[in-house]
Amino acid sequence: MRLTGPEPERFITDRVAEALPAYEVTAMLGHGGHAVVLAGRHRRLGRTVAIKVLSTSAADGGAHGRFLAEARLLAGLDHPHVVRIYDYVESGDLCLLVMERLAGGTVRARAANGLTVDVVCAIGLATAAALECAHAGGILHRDIKPDNILFSADGLLKVTDFGIAKLIGASGAAPSTLVGTPVYMAPEQFDGRPPGPACDLYALGIVLYELLSGRPPFVRALSMAQLMDHHLRVAPQPLDAAPPAIAAVVDRALRKEPGARPPSARAFALDLAAATAHALGAGWLTRCPLPLRLDDDVRDAARGSPPARTPPARTPPARTPPARTPPARTPPARTPPARTPPARTPPARTPPARTPPARTPPARTPPARTPPDTPPSAVPPPATASPRRWSAGVIRRRSLNRTARRDLRPADITSAPLRVDYPYSVVAAPDGAVYVSQRLRHRVLRIERDGRTVHVAGSGKSGPHGDGGPAVNAELDNPCGLALGPDGSLFIADSFNNRIRRVAPDGRIVTVAGSGRHGPPAGPAARHAASLNLAHPHGVYVDAAGLVYVANTGGHQVIRIDPDLRAAPLAGAGVPGLSGDHGPAQFAQLRRPHDVTAPPGRNVYLADTDNHLLRAVDADGIISTAAGMFYGASPDDGAPARIADVGRPHSLAPTPSGGLLVTDPDRGRVRLVTHDRLVRIFADARTGLRRPLGVTVHSDGTAFVVDTAQHLIHRLPVA
């Protein structure tokens, strides 16, 4: 019986269903060699499973033993990042392995759409954790590759396919037998040396090299003899696509001699976690979208904290001896008091007894000082059944030195900013009002200068319906960026509906771009905007000529739409990555751009968010980096823009003086890129911000900043 030959799929599923009466067999998920994988569901538990099927009649003589060994090995492993096995059944010439179904696809499939450095490092940590569990149980995987690392439906990474796994120290295949996938095999797997945990780490190093650079260190097109020679003798090209600290960890895993590699999967994970924290910042793990189940020491290393924890653990014993020795030294210290009675008599030494009372008033004054400070922040909520009012006392403006560059000074935060539930983006109207999107409320509000709040779009129910009718009755789904057109129309990046929608001055809403389907990136040819398949657009901007710019975040592009609704990519080939500077912007690579702005007479600026860059497209369509570096940027306030740290830029707003405000929610900062190409901190935690997302600047020089963590909108003076 051949499982991959002409035999009908229905016959295979019927045979499996007969052997597993407790399961409903639904469809074929894939096949390879003599095994196929079917989708199934436990009839009573409702649990979805994958059923791996082997036909021993068509397989080689050792396949049955390897299949049974895989079942036994998996049954002995219990780790969140290792696929779980539920059952093993033999029926005639069929061997059936019932395991956890991983519906999230393989790492290779995800890598085809591009992976950020933090996600790649998280994949490395999760895989290392799974290998540590396997190695602790005396098991080598021997076939780590992107196809054998999958994701569950909730995004949790799982290492699977232990079909050629081997017990450490057990006798294996004959020395002439190559076991594994040649591109990912360690040198010792080629020359017959006994394999150990280091061979799995070598394969993991190749996986990370490939995910970071887009290619394995030794290309698949090489013949078997050439691959063997490369693994044994040729050093890989330097991993320039990764931060140096991370590249060094990968390079160590790719050493030819097993003893030169990390001594264990845990040691590799600790090195990788510390290197990632060094390269991406201590908070990278909290920003990473991949769920991880890591041991405490690895998680601490990923936070950059192990060095701070280890000294305290070692110092107590060192501190305790000094604590015990003083008693031995105190007797001489007690004898002087016997000699000092005359020294106690002088009244000049009594003031030390009076100083405690002198110190207590300062201790009492802080409570006395806090009440005056707390009412301004505490009074507005009660007094504002109107936290919705912009009162004259909302902003305390300092008198700025007229000779100083006002747009280079940190902003003076308001003492009573406006409170709005779940604000995301903001745009200022010419009359001084502001529009605010409420992403999780699926609405857009207008806040008048006198504090009145007007509901302008979104019924509050998520959905795609309502075009052609009143905007207040229409459905939105996670509205993000906002923009105002020359005629006063409001444009909304209706993110989860994959559309750009327009609210006319008469209150009617229509779709101006996006088919509503989440689709592949747009090609270079122009097409009607309504036919575009957008991918969760986050930003939108409309210039004075009516040109609409869309940050198509999931499509890794910025799209320009003319007044006739003809759309074409302005920047981004649709393939995530970092390339293209000083060339045509259409062929450059971006990574999840979140916003775009086009100030009059200036370049078009893009927030290339996951590349940590601010990029510019000039009038000739040539792209360049305006500010930021992918890694190694300078955190100094006032650093030149080209080497400055701009974090993960999210929203952009031009200032009247020719600068550009850039929000960095991950670090709680708003930066100002000045007209002379310096990057300064405009507002941060010192001025009360926690997670700034949206930003806009009114023509009068007032900046409005959305603080999504505090559900506030701050009003700050810019110029």
One-letter identity of residue 73: L
Q: Is 143 a catalytic residue?
A: yes
Give me the catalytic one of 118, 143, 610, 664: 143
Alpha carbons 324 and 311: distance in angstroms, whole number: 20
Strand segments, DSSP code E, in 622-700 are: 623-627, 639-640, 652-654, 660-664, 669-673, 678-683, 692-697
Instruction: Name the pairing type of β-strands 702-707 and 548-552.
Output: unpaired
Tokens 């400070």 map to which residue? 373
| DSSP string for 296-365 | HHHHHHHTT-HHHHHHHHHHHHHHHHHHHHHHHHHHHHHHHHHH-HHHHS-GGGSHHHHHHHHHHHHHHH
Other C-beta atoms lying within 10 Å of the C-beta of residue 276: 28
Closest CA relative to residue 207, chosen from 190, 186, 179, 223: 186
Structure tokens at 554: 């999931």
Query: Is 118:284 a contact under the CB 8 Å cutoff?
Result: yes
Structure tokens at 705: 């900043």
List of residues 6+ apart from 311 with CB closer than 8 A = none
Structure tokens at 45: 């538990």
Structure tokens at 250: 């990968």
Backbone dihedral angles phi then psi of residue 237, each to the nearest 5 degrees: -60, 145
- The answer to whether 145 is annotated as binding is no
Query: What's the gap between Cα 29 and its chain centre?
Result: 30
One-letter identity of residue 512: V
Alpha carbons 689 and 687: distance in angstroms, whole number: 6
Alpha carbons 719 and 396: distance in angstroms, whole number: 15
Query: What's the gap between Cα 63 and its chain centre?
Result: 41
Query: Is 661:718 a contact under the CB 8 Å cutoff?
Result: yes
Alpha carbons 567 and 49: distance in angstroms, whole number: 44
Alpha carbons 163 and 141: distance in angstroms, whole number: 8
Alpha carbons 25 and 324: distance in angstroms, whole number: 72
| DSSP string for 451-476 | S-EEEEE--SSBSS--TTSBGGGS-B
Alpha carbons 488 and 508: distance in angstroms, whole number: 13
Go through 504-539 and write b for each residue having 16 or more CB atoms within 10 A of its CB, e for each that does not: eeeebbbbbbbbeeeeebbeeeeeebeebbbbbbbb
Backbone dihedral angles phi then psi of residue 466, each to the nearest 5 degrees: 120, -5
Backbone dihedral angles phi then psi of residue 510, each to the nearest 5 degrees: -145, 160
Backbone dihedral angles phi then psi of residue 122, each to the nearest 5 degrees: -65, -40
How many residues belong to the chain? 719
Give the residue ranges of DSSP H helices in 445-516: none
Residues designated catalytic: 143
Q: Which parts are annotated binding residues for ATP?
A: 52
